[in-house]
Amino acid sequence: MMTNPTIPKLNFSPILPLIPQNVAVIGAGAAGLVAARELRREDHKVVVFERENKVGGTWVYNPSTESDPLGLDPTRVVIHSSLYASLRTNLPREVMGFRDYPFVAKNGAQRDPRRFPGHVEVLEYLNNFETDFGLIELVRLGAEVRRARLEGGKWKIRSRMRVGEELDEVYDAVVVCNGHYTEPRIAEIPGIETWPGLQIHSHNYRSPEPFQGQVVILIGSSASAVDICRDIAGVAKEVHIASRSVTVGTIGKLPGHNNMWLHSMIESAHGDGIVVFRDGSAVCADVILHCTGYKYNFPFLDTNGIVTVDDNRVGPLYKHVFPPLLAPLLSFVGLPRKVVPFALCEIQSKWIAGVLSGRVLLPSSDEMMADVEAFYRTLDASGIPKHYTHYIGDSQFEYNDWLASECGYPPSEEWRKEMYSAAIKNMEVRPETYRDEWDDEDLVAQAHEDFKCFSK
Ligand code: FAD
């Protein structure tokens, strides 16, 4: 296991006696793995339930797609990962990795040394993380949590093995790490019921071949949308991007592409195959591809209405983690969006582990509730819609550093913040080539200097 001379295991001398808890972690993606590591570091007894037969969550590429290409049919067999075959990371590896387990290039036949590697490399990194921290013994593969319910101050967890019976067990605390890129959100389009073409959500996009010679309308402007439209443009007849964030002057044919156009949002769809955009243009299309994001979904969680999902706001949650009325016995890792997920999950997990053992104190539930209400009022006052509650993008480092100070961990490194900003800017300036061209070599050098203390 890697050692870390600069970041101590426990930074606070315990004021209270440390109390080990029996903790159920739901999901063994990046969030669940790092939560398991942090909980065990504080001597909690941990079981990680993982529905799939492998750890890694999103990063376990699955070439299969769901029977309903829009992912709306509740009876469909759910495929967890939304990865497409060509996916490379949208963050540089130095920023993307856990803070005390750097994501450095490694030698080996399966390894991808690029700074923005393909998805297989990320899964290798997570597998190495699991092995190096001996987490295998904590994870129950093929075990889906069907229900988690608080009864008499304890959590009753009902799980079902892929092969075998349902099992009921009792835990002190539950940490929810089930990911939020599986349940599609789709765009509402007037007239879509009569439109004869194929609709699919990016959750079920794997490769461009099925779009050969087709006219495709792609809705969205996220990092996935940017990748997928370029993937498809190589084989499709035409690709039309419908985006909410277009500005006057950018509408029309995209420079550098002979078959890609940018439009405003879709106004309506019609029975003759025509789709009309708000900018007045119209296209007869074969496919509408929704790259329109995902919904939070916790079908197994029964909190008696204490925690709800309302227009993609999971709440009430203190600092996106603890429901004030159920803290610290219920917590969520990895809900914030537009962030660097691994490092954020790592610091949230440290906080949860410390709070559960009594080493780190939370405010009273009234104080936490007041904080949540004040946060919601700030969002309202700034005109931020409810469904952006967990979009903390610009304030993510401030958020991480607040959590770090709560658990006695150092704040984010300056190079990490600067590199993240540089990467986002580079992506905007060079959408086609940002993964292979950059100007922040000085920051890469600083990162590698820092990483030296983590090498074996
Ligand atoms: P997940 O990885 O989704 O893991 C959740 C786990 O919970 C899964 O293994 C699932 O099987 C399990 N589970 C769910 N329900 C149950 C249940 N009831 N019982 C038991 N187990 C259950 N992040 C980056 O840092 N860089 C990138 O370049 C990047 N690109 C991305 C591209 C795409 C297309 C997508 C969708 C996401 C991307 N992300 C990227 C974000 C990515 O989701 C995070 O990096 C990270 O994988 C989130 O980890 P997680 O553990 O929260 O969720």
Give me ligand 1 centre to Cα 305, in Å.
25
Nearest CA to ligand 1 atom 18: 145
| pLDDT on residue 2 | 36
| pLDDT on residue 10 | 37
| pLDDT on residue 162 | 80
**Of 17-21, 105-109, 259-263, which gets the smallest average pLDDT?**
17-21
Is 90 exceeded by the pLDDT of residue 172? Answer: yes
DSSP letters, 75-112, are TSPPP-----TT-B-SS-HHHHSBTTB------STT--
Residues ≥6 apart with Cβ < 8 Å to 189: 195, 266, 268, 269, 275, 288
Give me ligand 1 centre to Cα 84, in Å.
14
pLDDT digits (tens, 9 = 90+) for 102-154: 999 998 888 999 999 999 999 999 999 999 999 999 999 999 999 999 998 99
**Does the CB atom of residue 125 touch ligand 1 within 6 A?**
no
Average pLDDT over every residue of 354-360: 95
**Does the CB atom of residue 50 touch ligand 1 within 6 A?**
yes
Is 60 exceeded by the pLDDT of residue 16? Answer: no
**Does the CB atom of residue 300 touch ligand 1 within 6 A?**
yes
Q: Are 55 and 130 in contact (CB under 8 A)?
A: yes
**Does the CB atom of residue 289 touch ligand 1 within 6 A?**
no
Give me ligand 1 centre to Cα 275, in Å.
33
Is 60 exceeded by the pLDDT of residue 6? Answer: no
| pLDDT on residue 73 | 94
- ipTM of the shown complex: 0.99
| pLDDT on residue 297 | 97
Nearest CA to ligand 1 atom 9: 57
Give me ligand 1 centre to Cα 29, in Å.
6
Q: Are 323 and 330 in contact (CB under 8 A)?
A: yes
| pLDDT on residue 303 | 96
Nearest CA to ligand 1 atom 49: 30
Kindly indicate the confidence band of residue 17, based on its pLDDT and cuts at 50, 70 and 90.
low
Ligand 1 pocket, mutate which of 101, 178, 227, 290 (most atoms under 8 A from CB): 178
Is 60 exceeded by the pLDDT of residue 245? Answer: yes
| pLDDT on residue 456 | 58
**Does the CB atom of residue 181 touch ligand 1 within 6 A?**
yes
